[in-house]
Structures are given as structure tokens and as C-alpha cells.
Amino acid sequence: MNPTTTTESILKLAIQKSGRLHDDSMKLLKECGIDISNGINKLKSEATNFPLEVYFLRDDDIPQYVEDGVADIGFVGENVVYEKAKTVAIADKLGFGKCRLSFAVRKNETFDGPATLQGKRIATSYPVLVQKYLDENKVQAEIQEISGSVEIAPGIGLADIICDLVSSGSTLFMNGLKEAEVILQSQAVLIKNSGISNVKQAILESLIFRIQAVKQAKSSKYVLMNAPNEKLEAIEKLLPGMKSPTVLPLAAEGWSSIHTVMTETQFWNIIQNLKELGAEGILVLLIEKMVP
């Protein structure tokens, strides 16, 4: 067999089969230029143009599979990584699946710090993380582990307080609850098995290189503007960026076009000053990939 096609030279990636992380995981691979047929009804699928095989699993199982080496790497929420406490390394943050693990109380109740939890019944799908919080704060409480729909627990009398994942807070609100205290900020991360071969490590590095180029591009914008030549120096002073901007003469006498890259926040911070200095025809464009 051709050595380049042995399983040893294919990196095995576990992603969520369906759920909140599935689409963003597939999208990230696509943005990295990796083509995979959608495997929603399949256990695994091989990339056609990158040495990668994708396994579709329940997110809760991903840390275990990666620890065991059944998969070499996985895309999974930090919340699951810490709850499962498996021996895996976090190799990169992926920038999607952002949420927080928070205590929530009935909306007419108050939460005055960890002491509020003393002697209470807490419903959660994250018993390990909640117990750790209780221990750190020297509080005793009873944990009711439930696997889903934690937000209904106070309403049906199963618990006084819940600890659950929150992103917008609308699920809590609809169930008459309010967020009281954040115990973990989470996003999807790339985890890896601690003993992968050098060949697989090299494939992983090229995957991470692509992921970083995609992430970098997402946080940056390509900004173009026209400006009178006598204001160029003042405008250049305002512009952030790694290198000096590109300045090209316009057909109109005494005017130039300035091209530069900045974050969206930087853009909003300086836009007013740019206009005051005479910049006009300002365009802000999406960047697809960015390699510093």
C-alpha cells in the first residue's frame, strides 16, 4: 500500500454528530478548504483533499474518544472538556459555541454570592464543575444531576437553583428564572490526544495554521478610503495595523486611496476622526483568510 494512504497518516477528528456545535464545526472545516461530505447519518467521513477523517459523535463522548486515541483530535465545548476531566490537551480555541455555565434562580429571588447555595438543591448537567465550585467556596449543597431541560427543574419542584449553560438568557427568562452567577466562560476548542505520532502532529499543525488564518480573518476588516494628499500623514497616524498602509494615487489630482486592515472595533473607534480629516468613500470589506 502507498504509505501516504495508511491510517497512520490520516488525522482522525471527532465532531458533534448533531446539535449546537455541528454546523459551526463543518463550516470551519469548509472555510479551511477541507471538503467533507455531510455525514449526518454516517458515523464517519473522509476529506477528499486533506488527510483527515471525521467521526460524528455525541459531544459528551468526544473527550473520552480523544483520550483513548480512537480519535486523535476533537472539536468540543470547554464546558464538556472540564466536566469530563479526561487527559487531553487543548490545542486551540475555535471562536464559536460561546456560552457560560451559570447559576440561575427564580426571578423574584436574590442571589448573594456562594452562601446563597448553602443547603439548597441544585439541578445541573455539570455535577463535577458545580461540586468543584461548592468545594472552592466551602459550601454544602445537594446536586441533582439531570441530563437535559434543566431550566424546568425549579418549576416542577425538583430543585431551588439550577446551574446550566446560558448564551442569550432567553431560555431562563421563558422559565421565570434569571442568571445569578457565572462559574465558567466556554467556547468550542480543539482537543488532542497526548501521544499522537509525529506524522499526525504535522497534519495537526497544518490544520491549526488554517484555522488561525480563518479566525484572524473573521476579526479583521479590509478598509479602503479616499483622502486628500495633505491629510495623508495625519490619517496614517490614526490607523492601527502591523505595517504601514498601502497608499495609491487616484486619477483625481491631489487625492490618494488608502488600503489597510483593522478590527471592526478599531474601525468604529476612528471612523469619526477619519471623516473629520477628510477621508471619504470609505469601504469596509470582509476578509476570507489572513496569514500574518
Residue 53 is a binding residue for ligand ATP (CB under 6 A): no
Q: Which stretch binds ligand ATP (CB under 6 A): 34-42, 44-52, 165-173, 203-211?
A: 165-173
Radius of gyration for the chain, computed over Cα atoms and rounded to the nearest angstrom: 25
When CB distances are held under 5 to 8 angstroms depending on the partner's kind, the choice from Zn ion, ligand ATP, none that residue 72 binds is: none
When CB distances are held under 5 to 8 angstroms depending on the partner's kind, the choice from ligand ATP, Zn ion, none that residue 165 binds is: ligand ATP
When CB distances are held under 5 to 8 angstroms depending on the partner's kind, the choice from Zn ion, ligand ATP, none that residue 266 binds is: none
Binding mask 90-119 for ligand ATP (x = CB under 6 A): -------x-x--------------------
Shortest Cβ 265–ligand ATP spacing (Å):
23
Between 84 and 200, whose beta carbon lies closer to ligand ATP?
84
Between 17 and 221, whose beta carbon lies closer to Zn ion?
17
* Bridge partner list, 246: 259
Sheet holding 188-192, edge to edge: 44-46, 52-57, 11-16, 73-77, 188-192, 89-93
Residue 109 is a binding residue for Zn ion (CB under 5 A): no
Residue 83 is a binding residue for Zn ion (CB under 5 A): no
Residue 58 is a binding residue for ligand ATP (CB under 6 A): yes
Count residues contacting ligand ATP (CB under 6 A)? 16
Between 43 and 283, whose beta carbon lies closer to Zn ion?
43
Dist. CA 36–CA 29, nearest whole Å? 8
Binding mask 43-62 for Zn ion (x = CB under 5 A): ----------------xx--
Q: Which stretch binds ligand ATP (CB under 6 A): 17-25, 153-161, 173-181, 258-266?
A: 17-25
Shortest Cβ 132–ligand ATP spacing (Å):
17
Residue 19 is a binding residue for ligand ATP (CB under 6 A): yes
Q: Which of 80, 159, 203, 204 binds ligand ATP (CB under 6 A)?
A: 80
Pairing of strands 280-286, 142-145: unpaired
Residue 164 is a binding residue for Zn ion (CB under 5 A): no
* Residue ranges binding Zn ion (CB under 5 A): 59-60
Binding positions for ligand ATP, rule: CB under 6 A: 16, 19-21, 58-60, 77, 79-80, 97, 99, 165-167, 186
